[in-house]
Amino acid sequence: MFKDTKAFSGFSVNDIPAAKAFYGDVLGLKLDENPGMGDILTLHIAGGGKIIVYPKPNHAPAGFTIINFPVPDVAEAVKQLKAKGVKFESYDWPGFKTDDDNIFRGGGPLIAWFTDPAGNILSVIQE
């Protein structure tokens, strides 16, 4: 039924101008504002994917990773994002701990998590 539809995802934020600056200027994603549709932004993801970002006055950050960005070198991506002011998450749970560089190296692909200005969780993950 949906195998040929061009589905897209979306998530809320509490501040569209902050989201526009973060996703466009900091992360370097191509984005569009959508005149006539309120303050909705469209993020353009490599390969033709799209994600909408919409304002929500009672926004609550997602408690899970909403976008994973595959990168060839997680350590380098973390370094570059930190240089742009991005703060990375640290986790120290039984059997699950990020290192001093905020990277999880405990099995599986290397991964590091950070948040957008609205508190939504994103990651860079080794390809």
Q: Report the pLDDT averaged over residues 61-78.
A: 96
CATH class of 9-126: alpha beta
Confidence band for 34, pLDDT divided at 50, 70 and 90: confident
pLDDT for 114 = 97
Tell me: the pLDDT tens digits for 11-25?
A: 999 999 999 999 999
Confidence band for 48, pLDDT divided at 50, 70 and 90: confident
pLDDT for 108 = 87
Closest CA to 104 of 63, 80, 68: 68
Cα first-last separation, the chain? 31
Residue 4, pLDDT > 90, answer no
Full-model pTM: 0.91
Closest CA to 42 of 64, 69, 23, 59: 23
pLDDT for 125 = 97
